[in-house]
Amino acid sequence: MSEKVNLVADLALILVSAGMFTIISKALKQPLILGYIIAGFIVGPHVGLFPTITSTEAVNQWSEIGIIFLLFALGLEFSFKKLLKVGSSALITAGTQCIGMFIVGIIVGKAMSWSMMESIFLGGMLSMSSTTIIIKAYDDLGLKNKSYASLVFGALVFEDLIAVLLMVLLSTMAISNKFAGGEMLFGLAKLGFFLILWFLVGIYLIPTILKKAHRYLNDEILLLVAIGLCFAMVSMASYAGFSSALGAFVMGSILAETLESEHITTLVKSIKDLFGAIFFVSVGMMVDPAVIGQYWVTILILALVTMTGILIFSTSGAIISGQGLYNSVHAGFSLAQLGEFSFIIAGLGCSLGVMRDFIYPVIITVSVLTTFTTPYMIKAGDPACRFLEKKLPSDFLAKINSAQGHKNSPAAANEWKILLKNYAIRVVLYSVVLIAIVLASQIYLDGLLSKFFPSLGKMALDSLSVGITLAVMSPFLVGLAISGSSIARSSDKLLKENEASTWTVIALTVLRFLLAMAFVLSVIVGHFSISAEMFILIFVVGALFLFLARKRLNRYSVIEDRFIQNLNEKERYERAMAPVSTSVTESLSSYDVSTAIYLVPQESSFAGKPLRELPFRHVSEVNIVKIIRGKKNILIPSGDEIIYPLDRLLAVGTSSQLESFRQTMKESIDKEGSVHDEFVLEPIKLDDQSFLTGKSLREVKMRSYGCMVISVLRGDKFITNPKPDSKFMSGDIVWLAGEKSGCYWWK
């Protein structure tokens, strides 16, 4: 019982201290993250001036849940489709940062007389920015809709994936003292396999289930389902050897493609804020003043190297990827801090005995120090960008920004590239599903068949296992071997333009057929020894099956059609509900141009005036492309269109223009208002001399004085809301409500 009480006391201490210091941070106009970290430092085990927690293990578990919810929420707002849209840019940005900082870390480590292995681990620790810190900072600062936000979040996702591979590499190097390229390649293949498999299965099943159960999903049930799915994916990711944060992000990304994503985001927000606060407080608890005092020079050097190095490498990577100066500079300033994987890598090095113990608290302190600076670094992006625009040569700026948003049009794209891209995607996706089926059959099916059919001999059990496995694989074998519509279109176009392409197209088709047959043979060979004649027979039967399946392709394409429908359903819904915003986002996604909706407050001084008289265009420089008035939409309104209270204005412009417009709308509110007298509700007993005695409500017109009669007690009879013609009598007790001066006058 006392242990349970201690857990509650620890949680109370964390939340109360977090609440107090975040109020102080808010009052001082500082980011909330700083309040959380200071609270953790004050109540942590290293200070001792105030009551501290009793169970560090419990706090660590709660903070782990905080990371899960933060990454789950990020996935809900940043789906795999968004990741693919900024994929190359985010990958180049993250790759440049990780490689650059890895090399810098090794150099700095050797310069500080650390061992080679410690320096290599330091390079890994300095390579990773903090996903959770940046998510929270962007949330507090209202930057999630900025043009550079998708680049930053995409780079963070790729960094987390790189961190998983880096941990495999570092652990094998620490054990064997040599570079294990095979282990790293296996880890990369394993990561890619599970990510694709989870995404394919999740997109096929989850949106379909939610759609079927839509009528039964109230807030409570939807919250339970969403969190249950999140924790299930976290468990699967941990079982597969990946981080829980990765599993949470994957499930959030899958749910982001459903129509319920925004609803789930709203429901999860409070839980995310609660456990996220615990996580940030736990980070502050890790700071040890003794370590700071002993190794302050090392901490200062690593902090400066981290912020400067990440800023330079991430900005350079974003510029190389064609993101332009504005997005690149903001991405660089946003990513300049150490992340959670730095803790994990430091802990790994200490547990393997290749790093001295003091390095772990030093890295934690550096991370906390850079966390303090994160909000200010993010805010510094704007003045830094303006400074560079003034100082850099105009030719250089034009060259950087001209690459931004440059995309080849479909007409200019090489048809062979389109064919090979679609070919590769189809082969990889179907191969992942087929590999998963083969593995599941080997791990689970054989044992289940032996359990349920103990009387069958080995030959019968093997035959049954092969038959079931091939039956489940058959639609995916057909999908792998037979061209989809996109491949068929490109092939037909190439054959019409150049007959010499015939043999290449045939060769690609044969390759897919051979790959499909390889999957079939792998299942059969896993259970039986086959001769050359049997091999040829299986090959002929397989070819005949695929040829006949080609004639009935529609029967086997149901799974593929359902997947495509689920994948694109939310996008179609958003396009139908918000055609203007969707069009702007799709067409100008690479530029600093976006849309935002602003409500016209009831007290706004703009209400009742035509658009041409309002300062939207010449002050904020935005364009109003739509007015939403109830169920009525006014597209491209004229200057004579009157603005009414509670209208919603869809504005288009750059991030700075939209921010200026938001401020203009805020300043339009009439803050003077009318000053009201104090409201009172009290009983008054009438006598023969009272002004109300003998008069009716209609005669005295009490409302004109800001007063009204609520009830009258006449003897034992209680009258509520008396009628206008009711007359007051001596001895009545009248309850008057209204402004104090009016009620006291009647009294």
> Taking 70 as the threshold, does the pLDDT of residue 224 lie above it?
yes
For 123-137, 194-208, 365-379, 469-483, which range has the lowest pLDDT when averaged over its residues? 469-483
Among 9-18, 498-507, 662-671, which stretch is predicted with the lowest mean pLDDT?
A: 498-507
305 against 281, higher pLDDT: 305
Query: 150 and 79, same structural domain?
Result: yes
Q: 371, 418 in Cβ contact below 8 A?
A: no
Q: Which of 632, 667, 702 is the last residue of a domain?
A: 667
Residues 485, 224: Cα–Cα separation, whole Å? 39
Burial class (CB in 10 A: 0-12, 13-18, 19+), 74: buried
Among the listed ranges 14-23, 70-79, 302-311, 563-572, which one has the minimum average pLDDT value? 563-572
CA–CA separation, 161 and 94 (whole Å): 10
User: Has residue 674 been placed in a domain?
Assistant: no
d(CA 315, CA 328): 5
Per-position DSSP letters for 622-635, written without gaps between them: -EEEEEEETTEEEE
Can you tell me the mean pLDDT for 645-651?
Answer: 84
Residues 142 and 64 in one domain: yes
Token pair recorded at residue 600: 């016209």
User: DSSP for 340-399?
Assistant: HHHHHHHHHHHHTTSS-TTHHHHHHHHHHHHHHHHHHHHHTHHHHHHHHHHHS-HHHHHH
d(CA 148, CA 593): 11
User: Is the same domain home to 194 and 135?
Assistant: yes
End-to-end CA distance of the chain: 60
- In this structure, is residue 563 part of a structural domain? no
Percent of the chain with pLDDT over 90: 3
Tell me which H or E stretch contains 280: helix 261-285
In whole numbers, what is the pLDDT of the chain averaged over residues?
A: 77
> Which helix (H) or strand (E) segment is 599 a member of?
strand 594-599
Domain assignment present for 614? yes
CATH number at residue 649: 3.30.70.1450
Q: For 140-189, write each residue's pLDDT tens digit.
A: 777 777 778 888 888 887 887 787 677 767 776 776 665 555 666 776 77
User: How far is residue 62's CA from residue 68's CA, in Å, rounded to a whole number?
Assistant: 10
Q: What is the pLDDT of residue 228?
A: 92
Q: Look at residues 505, 419, 519 and name the one whose alpha carbon lies nearest to residue 475.
A: 519
Band of the pLDDT at 304, cuts 50, 70, 90? very high
Looking at per-residue pLDDT, the higher value among 158 and 578 belongs to 158
What is the DSSP code string of 300-352? Answer: HHHHHHHHHHHHHHHHHHHHHTT-HHHHHHHHHHHT-S--HHHHHHHHHHHHT
The tens digit of pLDDT for each residue in 44-90 reads 777 766 667 766 777 777 878 887 887 788 788 766 666 666 667 88
Of 336, 365, 394, the domain-final residue: 394
Q: Who's near 40: CB < 8 A, 6+ residues apart?
A: 14, 17, 280, 281, 282, 283, 284, 285, 286, 287
What confidence category does residue 206 fall into, taking pLDDT thresholds of 50, 70 and 90?
A: confident
pLDDT on residue 548: 67
Say which amino acid occupies 371: T
- How far apart are alpha carbons 277 and 286 in whole angstroms? 15
Which residue reads 């918000």 in tokens? 578
Write out the residue range of the structural domain in which residue 592 sits. Answer: 585-667
- Token readout for 312 is 């330079």
CA distance 31 to 40: 15
In this prediction, residue 570 has a pLDDT band, given cuts at 50, 70 and 90, of low
Q: What is the tens place of the pLDDT at every residue in 441-464? A: 888 887 788 777 777 777 888 788
User: What's the rounded Cα separation, in Å, for the pair 416 and 260?
Assistant: 38
Residue 565 lies in a domain: no
On whether both 386 and 261 belong to a single domain, the answer is: yes
Please tell me the predicted confidence (pLDDT) of residue 673. Answer: 47
**Among all chains, which residue has been given the structure tokens 């658009």?**
611
Angle at 132 between CA 131 and CA 137, to 5 degrees: 100
Higher pLDDT: 176 or 276? It is 276
Domain-embedded: residue 209: yes
Instruction: Render the burial of 86-123: b for 16+ CB within 10 Å, e for the rest.
Output: beebbbbbbbbbbebbbebbbebbeeeebeebbbbbbb
CA 122 to chain CA centroid, Å, is: 29
3-state secondary structure of 444: helix
> Binning pLDDT at 50, 70 and 90, where does residue 4 land?
low
Same domain, yes or no: 429 and 322: no
Torsion angles phi and psi, residue 551, rounded to 5: -70, -20
**HSE, side-chain direction, 13 A CA sphere, residue 328:** 27
Structure tokens at 426: 């189809």
Judgement on whether residues 51 and 193 belong to the same structural domain of the protein: yes
pLDDT given for residue 486 in this prediction: 57
Quick one: pLDDT band at residue 1, thresholds 50, 70, 90?
Answer: very low
Amino acid sitting at position 399: K
Question: In this predicted structure, what is the pLDDT of residue 86?
Answer: 64
pLDDT digits (tens, 9 = 90+) for 475-505: 777 777 775 555 666 666 666 666 656 667 6
Task: Give the DSSP H or E segment for 87.
Answer: helix 87-111
Residue 350 pLDDT greater than 70, yes or no: yes
Cα–Cα distance for residue pair 110/297, rounded to 1 Å: 16
Confidence of residue 231 (pLDDT cuts 50, 70, 90): very high
Q: Which two tokens stand for residue 564?
A: 């495509």
Closest listed residue to residue 461, CA positions, set 475, 449, 478, 443: 449
Judged against a pLDDT cut of 70, whether residue 391 lies above it is answered with yes
pLDDT band for 411, please (50, 70, 90 cuts).
Answer: very low
Domain with residue 363: its CATH number is 1.20.1530.20
Residue 320 phi, psi dihedral angles, 5° rounding: -60, -35
The values of phi and psi at residue 625, to 5°, are -95, -15
Give the pLDDT of residue 419: 67
Q: Are residue 432 and residue 329 in the same domain, yes or no?
A: no
**Residue 732 has what pLDDT?**
87
Residue 459 tokens read as 């030959």
Query: 454 burial class (0-12, 13-18, 19+ CB within 10 angstroms)?
Result: exposed
**Are residues 438 and 519 in contact, defined by beta-carbon separation less than 8 angstroms?**
yes
pLDDT(533) > 80 = no
339 shares a domain with 226 = yes
Contact 628, 598 (CB under 8 A): no
Using a 10 angstrom Cβ sphere, with 0-12 exposed, 13-18 middle and 19 or more buried, the burial of residue 634 is middle
Let me know whether 535 and 614 are in one domain. Answer: no
Verdict on whether the full-model pTM lies above 0.85: no
Name the residue among 339, 355, 342, 344 with its Cα closest to residue 173: 355
Cα 526 to Cα 79: distance, rounded to the nearest angstrom:
38
User: CA angle 286-290-294, nearest 5°?
Assistant: 120
**Residue 684, phi then psi, degrees to nearest 5:** -130, 130
Q: What pLDDT does residue 742 have?
A: 63
3-state secondary structure 18-77: HHHHHHHHHHCCCCHHHHHHHHHHHHCCCCCCCCCCCCHHHHHHHHHHHHHHHHHHHHHH
Residue 671 predicted with pLDDT over 70: no
Mean pLDDT of 397-406: 64
**Are 448 and 307 part of one and the same domain?**
no
| Summary count for the chain: helices (H), strands (E) | 31, 8
Tell me what pLDDT residue 5 has.
60
Question: Is residue 674's pLDDT more than 50?
Answer: no
Instruction: Give the residue from 340, 338, 327, 335 showing the smallest Cα distance to 311.
Output: 335
Q: Is residue 44 part of a domain?
A: yes
Token couple for 299: 């901490």
Tell me the HSE value of 681 on the side-chain side, using a 13 A CA sphere: 4
H or E stretch covering 617: none
pLDDT above 60: residue 723: yes
Tell whether 616 and 690 lie within a shared domain.
no
Looking at the structure of the chain, the number of domains it has is: 4
Tell me the pLDDT tens digit for each residue of 702-715.
777 778 888 888 88
Same structural domain for residues 518 and 371? no
pLDDT band at 409 (very low <50, low <70, confident <90, very high): very low
Looking at residue 254, what is its pLDDT?
Answer: 86
Nearest to 539 by CA among 497, 564, 510, 568: 510
Q: Is residue 471 part of a domain?
A: yes
Distance CA 269, CA 563 (A): 29
Q: Give the Cα separation of 133 and 161 in Å (integer).
A: 17
Amino acid at 116: M
Cα–Cα distances in Å, from 252 out to 68, 80, 227, 232? 10, 9, 10, 12
| 638-652: average pLDDT | 84
Residue 140, both tokens: 């507090």
Q: What share of the chain in percent tops pLDDT 70?
A: 80
Q: Is the dihedral of CA 581, 83, 72, 126 positive or negative?
A: negative
Pick from 556, 576, 599: which residue ends a domain? 556
In a domain, 47, yes or no: yes
pLDDT at 413: 44
DSSP run (H or E) holding 715: none
